[in-house]
Amino acid sequence: MNLKQLAELLNAEAKGPADYPIMGVRDIAALSKDEPLLENQVYFIENNAVLKRHPLAGKTGAILTTPEFADKFEHAMIVPQKGARLAFIALLKHFEKAPKFAPGVDNGPRIHAKAVIDPSASILPGATVMEGAVIGARTVLYPGVVVEPFATIGADTTIFPNTVIGHHCVIGADCILHGCTVIGADGFGFIDEPGKRHKIPQIGNVTVADHVEMGSGCTVDRATIESTSIGENTKIDDQVHIGHNVRVGKFVYIAGHSGLAGSVVVEDYAMISGNCAIKDHVRVAKGSIIMGHSGVAQDTVPGVAYFGTPARPAKQMHKMHAALERLPELLAKVRELESKINGVPL
């Protein structure tokens, strides 16, 4: 598809050579500040904040944008401000990779003929491996496991009962995924208009690196465009939720009942204790420790321990808690001083 054809599909005005080829859609938030946009890819920009974070935007690639910013880009598809996000939804739907199935009932085997399964893998009765899925050497799939189309699982990985690996997701080698975990459910994204609620297509995937273990009942949502990712040797407890576009580094610990909202970054060697909540777009710095029952609303400092809601450095919170214990005594002293100043007996 070229620039002109895609603009027509989105009811947009094309700017630049009509035959400029379009090969896919990418997420500009996944780029570092000084990283150029990829050629022949579409990026969505609707505000100045994105342009400030990515000053190289517009030099390469194609931009879906509004008239306000159109003069900044060589290749662009221009839509009115009120229709920008709906055009973005239409763009994602065009590139969506979710599998399509023919109507009818399939009573055949649970292993698709076009799945690629290493001869040394063990697929136990009741497991389902769908079209184009790839299963590595010595990997074990327990009953009830579902591997959706074009997902990939590396060697020596064990996946316990009733776990789902979503379409196009990637699981590395020597991983353990305990029962009822779901990898690659849709991310939580919607756009509201008066009387309407539009679902944002989630066309990315999840990538899990080697030597990762996840407990039972965990959920990892696919990214809107790129990949939700979990780094090597990271260990995740039961019932942890990881939202869309999250990037978890290597050698991270995440304890049970914790939740990471969309676009959180957890750097290498960080530790998140049980029942913690991390706000969207927060960066948990390398080696940070988030103590149990904490709510993190701001970026942390490398190597520092935090706790509380909102979470603060632990040393600061200890002083605050010590002061709270003395609060009744301090209030009594304040009342005593007020009575002396005003000449009123207690």
Question: Residues with catalytic annotation?
Answer: 244
Cis peptide bond prior to 109, omega within 30° of 0: no
The DSSP line for 109-151 is -SB-TT-EE-TT-EE-TT-EE-TT-EE-TT-EE-TT-EE-TT-
DSSP-based three-state secondary structure for 8? helix
Q: How far apart are CA 179 and CA 146, in angstroms?
A: 11
- In one letter, which amino acid is 190? F
For the chain, the C-alpha Rg in angstroms (whole number) is 25
- 336: part of which helix (H) or strand (E)? helix 327-342
Question: Please, what's the b/e burial string for 39-59 (b: 16 or more CB within 10 A of its CB; e: otherwise)?
Answer: eebbbbbbeeebbeebeebbe
Q: Which residues, in sequence order, are CB contacts of 324 under 8 Å at separation 6+?
A: none
Dihedral over Cα of 103, 108, 109, 112: its sign? negative
Are 211 and 232 in contact by the 8 Å Cβ rule? The answer is yes
Instruction: Map tokens 């301090």 to a residue.
Output: 330
The DSSP line for 233-290 is T-EE-SS-EE-TT-EE-SS-EE-TT-EE-TT-EE-TT-EE-TT-EE-TT-EE-TT-EE
Task: Name the DSSP letter for residue 76.
Answer: E
